[in-house]
Amino acid sequence: MRNPKILAVVIGAIYVLFLHFLYSNNIPYAQNTSALIIPLIALAYFCHVDKKSVFFTLFLMLYSLSELLGFFYHLMPESLDYIVGNGLYVLAFVALTIEISRNLSLIHIIKKYWFSIIILILLNCYITYILIEVVYPEFYLEFEYFLELIYDISMLMVLSFALLKYLNSGSEKAFYFLVGAICIVFSDVLNVAYLYVSKQKVFSVLIVSLDLIGFYFFYAQAKLRYRKKKEVMF
């Protein structure tokens, strides 16, 4: 797996398999297949990125563990699977937030972008409220509500800090972080719609596709350094 092209082909083949199983109505196979995509992107990072960040590495490991946990959901109680899986996601998002916010002067950011920060806080509160309102009727235990709340907050913190980082530096690396964070947040919103509103296959395709795109940008930024750019273009 030292050749990045081989891993890219494998990931592409798994994505195609996911689509095949999904539209063949083999949902468990589709879910298990899609769960391999992020761990393989993490493997690409470990194999092909020389200068590894501790917190970004921790993010990829924790997120991949939570994805792979789906293979063993039948071996543990549903409540335990929910706690461990979402707990790993929360820790992963915290690690990513720390990675994004490194070398970021909060005092400078608050002084320069205080109005944007207020808007971000209000927007995050609104999104969290909407997500909780959708999923709350499905919860039977109080701790599930609090864990979902912590999960939503940690996820939106990634997006908020990624946006502030890009506004502050304007670098290509910060832009990649921002695109990755946007994809992850939209993927999670669609996942809520898929689980609690309507299990339409198009939601499942968009969820996996956004995750794939988001983690591609996360992987790509790991090879870049922060540099000031006047404009970032695809």
Q: Is 76 within the bounds of a domain?
A: yes
Q: How many CA atoms lie within 13 A of 192 on its CB side?
A: 20
Mention every residue, 6+ apart, whose C-beta is less than 8 A from residue 186: 210
Per-residue tens of pLDDT for the chain, all 234 residues: 566 688 889 999 999 999 999 999 898 899 999 999 999 999 999 988 888 889 999 999 999 999 998 887 777 777 778 888 899 999 999 999 999 988 777 788 888 888 888 888 898 888 888 888 777 666 666 677 788 889 999 999 999 999 999 988 878 899 999 999 999 999 998 988 888 777 888 999 999 999 999 999 999 998 876 555 444 443
**Residue range of the domain that includes 150:** 4-221
Q: Is 162 within the bounds of a domain?
A: yes
Distance of CA 122 to the CA centre of its chain: 21
Question: How many folded domains does the chain comprise?
Answer: 1
Q: Is 124 within the bounds of a domain?
A: yes
Q: Is 229 within the bounds of a domain?
A: no
Question: Positive or negative, the Cα torsion across 66, 67, 72, 77?
Answer: positive
Residues 123-153: b if buried by 16+ CB within 10 A, e if exposed: ebeebbeebeeebeeeeeeeebeebbbbbbb
Does the predicted TM-score (pTM) go above 0.85?
A: yes
Q: Is 226 within the bounds of a domain?
A: no
Distance of CA 158 to the CA centre of its chain: 9
Q: Is 230 within the bounds of a domain?
A: no
